[in-house]
Amino acid sequence: MLKMTDNQQRFSSGLDIGRLLRPFAGLAVPAGAVIAALAVGAILLGVFGANPLTGYRELFTGAFGGPDELAATALKSIPLMLVGVGICIAFRTGVINIGGEGQIIMGAILATLVALALPDVPRPILVPLVMIAGGIGGGIWGAIPGALKAYSGVNEILSTIMMNIIAGFFMSFLLEDWLIEPGAIRIQQTKRLTHNADLPILPGGTRLHLGIVVALIVAILGYLLLFRSSLGMRLRAVGHNPHASRAAGMKVELSITQALAFSGACAGIAGAVLVFGSESHRLIGEGGPLAFTQSAGFNGIVTALFGGLHPLFTVLSSYLFGGMLAGGISLQRAVQVPQALVIALNGVVVVFVVGSLKLRTRVQRWAEGDIQMEDRA
Amino acid sequence: MNDFFTVAIITATLASGIRLAVPFLLAALGEAVGQRAGVLNLGVEGVMLIGAFAAYYTALESGSAAFGLLMGLVVGMVMGLIYAFITVVMHAEQGISGIGIYLFGLGFTDLLFQKQVGTPRPISGLQTKPFDWLADDTGRAGELLFSHTILTYVAFLLVPVIYFLITRTTFGLNVRAVGENPQAADTLGVSVNGIRTAAIVIGNTMAGLAGAALALEIGIFQQNLTAGRGFIAIALVYFGAWRPVGVMAGSLLFGIVSSTVLQLQVQDVISGSVASIANMAPAVLTVIVLVVVSRRIGQPAALTRPFTRDS
C-alpha cells in the first residue's frame, strides 16, 4: 500500500518524457494481472462446459449493456464504494480495517432501530436521519477497535475480526426475538420498515435509488477529509510515520481512533443503504451475516486498493467490481455457471494484482533507467 | 432445566466440545508456525473451505472418509505452495492477498459444490476410534477421553509436536530467526525464503486438514461451511501468544462454549436469542484477552514484512 504512494511521489518529481511514459509502464503490470485472472476465469468456464467468450460477453452486457444494467451495476457498487472510501481513510492512516462486515451490520441495526422508533417522521427528515444513524452505528463499531489499538496496543486485524463475529451474533440475537416480524413464520427478519425511510428511486425509469448519491457524497467528503483538511493531513502523517508524527506533537492515538471511526461510519452508512434501499425494506438476518452484507466488507478492501486508496478512484473501481457482481447473474442465466464464479474470480484478481506489485515496481524502475539513458544520449 | 445438569449430558457436551475444537486447533497451530516465521496468512478461511470441499467430495465419491481427509491435506499443501509463491517470492502484501485467497476459496468451493454436487448429500464421517475399547470400562472419564476419532488425537498430539518443532529443533530455531530478524538469519546462511516457504506449507496443510476435519464432523458441505472459523483460528494464535499450548486453550474454549450453547438449545434450556449472546462470549473474551496480553507479549518482529537482501 505504501509502495503505491511512494510510486506516486516518484511520478511527480520525474522528467517530462518520464511523466508521459511511466504511468503506462506502471499500468502494464496490473493490467496484465487482471488479464491473467480473466484467463483463469476463462479456463474455469471452459472446464464447466461453457464457451468462455459467450460467458464474458454475457458478463459484460449484463453489467454495462443498457440503462437497466448500468443501474443494476450502480446498485451493486454502492456498498463497495462506501466501504471502500472508509478503507481509504483507515489504510492511509496505517490501520488495517478488516471489520467492514461488522460495521455494516451495526450501522444497519442502528438505522433500523431509528426507523422503528420514529416511523411517522416525514421522509425528507427520516431518510437523512437513518443514514446518519447508520454512520454512527458503524462509527462506534470502528472506534472500539481503533481505541483498543491506540491505547492498549491490540492488533486491529484481530479485534476487527472479533467485532465482525460479535456483530453477526448480535444481529441474530435481535432478530431471533425482539425485532422479528410478528407472525407464525419465524424468519430472521424485521417487519417491512416505515415507507418514510425508503430511499427514493431516482428518475429515469430504473431501480436506481438515492443510495448512489449518498455514496458519491461520502466519497467526496472522504476525499476532502483526507486531502483537503488538516485532520486528514494528520491522519496521513500518522500513516506515513507514526513516530515522526508523535515527535512533531501529533496525538497519534487520537488519529488512529478517528481513522477507524470514520472508516466504520462509511461502512455503517452502507449498512443503512442495504436496509432502506433493498426491495424488501427490511433488516434480514436469515442465511447469516454474509448474506446480508454480500461480503461488501471484504470486497470494499479490494476496490479501495484498486482505487489506489483514493476515494474518488475507489468510486470508479467499485463501479467496475459492481459490474462483475451484476454481470455474474446474467452469466449464470446464459451459460449455467453459478455466479459464485465471480466471487472466486474477485479473489484471483486480488491475488494476481497484489502479487504483481513488486514486478510493477521493477518495470517502473526499468522504465526510469531507460529514460535517463535516453536523456544522456 | 435440571436435565442439563446430569453427568451424562455434561460429559457428552464436553466431549463434543473437544471434537468442535479440532478444526480451530489444527488451523490455529498451522497459522502459528507461519506467523513465527514472519508470515501472516489471512487466507486460512479460504484454505479451510477448499480443504473441506475436497474432503467432502472425495468422501462422497469414494465412500472413504480417510481418503477425503488425505485430499484435504493435499489441497492444503498445494494452497500453501501458491501462497508461498505469492508472499515470499512476489512479496505481496500479506493481509490483502490473504483476503484474496479467502474470496477465492469462498467462491470456488461454492461454484464446485453447485456444479458437481448440487443438493446437499450427507457423507459418513471418520469412524476410526483407536481407544474406543477403553471407553466402556472407564466410565464417564473414559467417554470424555477415549471416545474420539483418530483425527482428534492427532490434532492434540500435534500440540507437543509443534512445540517441540519450534523450540527444540534446528528448523524451529530457523523459523523463529526468520520471524524475528530475517536479515541476521540471512547473514548466518539461513535461507529465509526457504524456511518461510516450509512454514507456510506446514500452516496451509494444517488449514486444509482443519477444513477436512470440519466437513467430516458436520457430514455435509454447503456454501461458506466454515462460517468464520478460519478467521477465529487466526485470532486464536494471538490469543495463545504464538505458543502451541495457549492456542490449544483458546481452541478448547471456543469448542466447548459452542457445544455447550448447542446442548442448552437442544435441551430447550435457553432460547435462540440467548444462544446468540452466549455464542458471542468467546469473541468478547478474546478481545479482553488481547487487551490484557498485548502489552506484555510482542508478536514476531518481522511479521508481515517481506524479506529483501538490500533493505
pTM of structure: 0.88
- Record the cell numbers describing residue A67, joined without a space: 440503462
State the average pLDDT for chain A.
88
CA angle B103, A172, A114 (to 5 degrees): 105
> Which of the listed ranges A32-46, A149-163, B159-173 does the model predict with the highest average pLDDT?
B159-173
Chain A interface disruption, residue of B221, B274, B287, B296, most A CBs within 10 A: B287
Cα–Cα distance measured from residue A323 to residue A328, given in angstroms and rounded to the nearest whole number: 8
* Positive or negative torsion for Cα A236, A242, A246, A252: positive
Chain A interface disruption, residue of B39, B45, B47, B93, most A CBs within 10 A: B93
Q: Characterize B213-235 residue by residue with b for buried, 16 or more Cβ atoms within 10 angstroms of its Cβ, and e for exposed.
A: bbbbbbeebebbbbbbbbbbbbb
Range B260-273 average pLDDT: 84
Per residue in B174-189, pLDDT (tens digit) is: 999 999 999 999 999 9
- Record the cell numbers describing residue A79, joined without a space: 456498498
The helix (run of H) or strand (run of E) holding residue B76 is helix B65-84
Range of weakest confidence among A33-37, A165-169, A268-272, B249-253: A33-37
pLDDT the model gives residue B131: 78
pLDDT the model gives residue B37: 95
Contact A358 B90 (CB under 8 A): yes
pLDDT band at A149 (very low <50, low <70, confident <90, very high): very high
Contact A355 B224 (CB under 8 A): no
Check CB contact of B222 with chain A, cutoff 8 Å. Answer: no
Check CB contact of B42 with chain A, cutoff 8 Å. Answer: yes
Question: Is pLDDT at B27 greater than 90 in this prediction?
Answer: yes
> Which of the listed ranges A128-137, B82-91, B213-222, B279-288 does the model predict with the highest average pLDDT?
A128-137
Domains contained in chain B, CATH given: 2-119+131-294 (1.10.3470)
Question: Is pLDDT at B99 greater than 70 in this prediction?
Answer: yes
Cα–Cα distance measured from residue B181 to residue B296, given in angstroms and rounded to the nearest whole number: 20
Cα–Cα distance measured from residue A343 to residue A83, given in angstroms and rounded to the nearest whole number: 17
- Record the cell numbers describing residue B126, joined without a space: 471418520
Among A48, A159, A77, which Cα is nearest to B290's?
Answer: A159
Range B186-207 average pLDDT: 96
Q: How many residues does chain B have?
A: 311
**What is the ipTM metric for this complex?**
0.88
Check CB contact of B128 with chain A, cutoff 8 Å. Answer: no
pLDDT the model gives residue B306: 84
Per residue in B55-93, pLDDT (tens digit) is: 999 999 999 999 999 999 999 999 999 999 999 998 888
Contacts of B149 (CB under 8 A, 6+ apart): B125, B126, B127, B128, B129
Contact A347 B103 (CB under 8 A): yes
pLDDT the model gives residue A177: 83
> Which of the listed ranges A157-166, B143-152, B271-280, B299-308 does the model predict with the highest average pLDDT?
A157-166
Pick the residue with more confidence: B28 or A361?
B28
Cα–Cα distance measured from residue A87 to residue A92, given in angstroms and rounded to the nearest whole number: 8
Per residue in A280-292, pLDDT (tens digit) is: 999 998 888 888 9
Range B187-206 average pLDDT: 96
Question: Is pLDDT at A365 greater than 80 in this prediction?
Answer: no
Check CB contact of B130 with chain A, cutoff 8 Å. Answer: no
Contact B95 A157 (CB under 8 A): yes
Among B260, B277, B282, B258, which Cα is nearest to B269's?
Answer: B260
Contact A161 B272 (CB under 8 A): no
pLDDT the model gives residue B174: 95
* Residue A190 falls in which region: left (phi positive, over 0), alpha (psi -120 to 50) or beta: beta
Answer yes or no: are the C-beta atoms of B307 and B177 closer than 8 Å. Answer: no
Q: Considering only CB atoms, which chain A residues are within 8 Å of B99?
A: 98, 298, 301-302, 350
Q: In sequence order, which ranges of B85-190 are alpha helices (DSSP H)?
A: 94-112, 132-135, 139-146, 150-168, 170-180, 182-187
pLDDT band at A4 (very low <50, low <70, confident <90, very high): very low
Per residue in B225-257, pLDDT (tens digit) is: 998 899 889 989 988 889 999 999 999 998 998
Comparing alpha-carbon positions, the chain B residue that sits nearest to A153 is B294
Residue at B49: amino acid letter: L
Q: Considering only CB atoms, which chain B residues are within 8 Å of A348?
A: 100, 104
Tally C-beta pairs within 8 A across A and B. 171
- Record the cell numbers describing residue A60, joined without a space: 459484460
